[in-house]
Amino acid sequence: MEFLLTLRRRGISDAAVLRAMDDVPRARFVEAETAGEAYADQALPISCGQTISQPYVVAYMTEQLRLQPHHRVLEIGTGSGYQAAVLSRLAREVVSIERYRTLADKARERLAALGYGNVEVIAGDGMLGAPDRAPFDRIIVTAAAATVPEVLLEQLAEGGVMVLPLGSHSGPQRIVRLTKGADGTVNREELIAVRFVPLLPGKAQEL
Ligand code: SAH
């Protein structure tokens, strides 16, 4: 299929990640008006002025997480629920937080309809993480922060990995991978350049 070929050609090589990308029907996560473009390698608009990420970036960030089947994962920025669905195929449990209640409700409904039972969607401020559910083996943030959200880093298990876009809202952003060492030190790797909507504090006031 063209969709997988494009991901392979762009450098995604992890077989489990490619399988997960093949399994999850992206068409079910986009708006009806853009269903025809669901398998093109591009971000698309969803409700509340947000976007469903480009498939390549979803696959890339997932690959960089180095997921194992026993992992518990925290995602900040549920959006459509697409990234959460991909994660759910590769990890034991996914907790995903979205600041727009409308998006959270829609994503929860979609994920349940598709049978992805190991994802929990929470409407709330993801910048606070989910302290009652921490620590997490992996954390992925799918909105861009100007600086590393320390609260989230605290909720990462020893040996854990966090992958997030870092950079200003209008300027350049880069995917960064943070690995938490046993002694609490954090190793930082700068990866590819990206463009994400901003990580904003607090619950959204509008629905
Ligand atoms: N992972 C999504 C892409 C989402 S776009 C997908 O697969 O479709 C980024 C999302 O992050 C937006 O929906 C935005 O509302 C959300 N977001 C931004 N700041 C947030 C915060 N502090 N807490 C939770 N969600 C946040």
Residue range 28-52, pLDDT digits in tens: 999 999 999 999 999 999 999 999 9
Rounded to 5 degrees, φ, ψ at 197 are -70, 155
* C-alpha distances in Å from residue 11, one per residue of 22, 37, 207: 16, 22, 38
Instruction: With respect to residue 200, please indicate whether it lies within any of the assigned structural domains.
Output: no
pLDDT in tens, 133-155: 999 999 999 999 999 999 999 99
Does residue 207 have a pLDDT over 70? no
The residue type at 119: V
> Total structural domains in the chain?
1
pLDDT value for 170: 86
- Lining ligand 1 with CB less than 6 A are 50-53, 76-77, 79-80, 82-83, 97-100, 103, 125-127, 142-143, 197, 199-201
Q: Give yes or no for residue 192 having a pLDDT over 70.
A: yes
Q: What average pLDDT does range 175-186 have in this prediction? A: 94
Beta carbons of 159 and 139 less than 8 angstroms apart: no
Q: Is residue 207 part of a domain?
A: no
In this predicted structure, the answer to whether residue 131 has a pLDDT above a threshold of 70 is yes
Residue 58 has pLDDT above 80, yes or no: yes
Residue 130 pLDDT:
98
Whether the pLDDT of residue 206 is over 80: the answer is no
Assigned domain for 7 exists: yes
Give a yes or no: residue 116 inside a domain. Answer: yes
Range of the domain at 182: 2-194
Evaluate if residue 83 carries a pLDDT over 70: yes
Q: How far is the CA of 111 from the centre of ligand 1 (A)?
A: 16
For residue 144, how far is its CA from the centre of ligand 1 (angstroms)?
9
| pLDDT-above-70 percentage for the chain | 100
Q: Write phi, then psi, for 204 (nearest 5 degrees).
A: -65, 140
- Number of Cβ within 10 Å of residue 28's Cβ equals 16
Q: Quick check: is 47 in a domain? A: yes
Within its chain, how far is the Cα of 8 from the centroid?
Answer: 20
Average pLDDT across the chain, whole number: 96
Which CATH number do you get for residue 40?
3.40.50.150
Q: Which atom of ligand 1 is nearest to the CA of 83?
A: 7
Identity of the residue numbered 156: L
Determine whether 168 is an active site residue.
no
Q: Quick one: tokens of 23?
A: 């399994």
Minimum-distance ligand 1 atom for the alpha carbon of 52: 8
CA–CA dist 179, 141 (Å, integer): 14
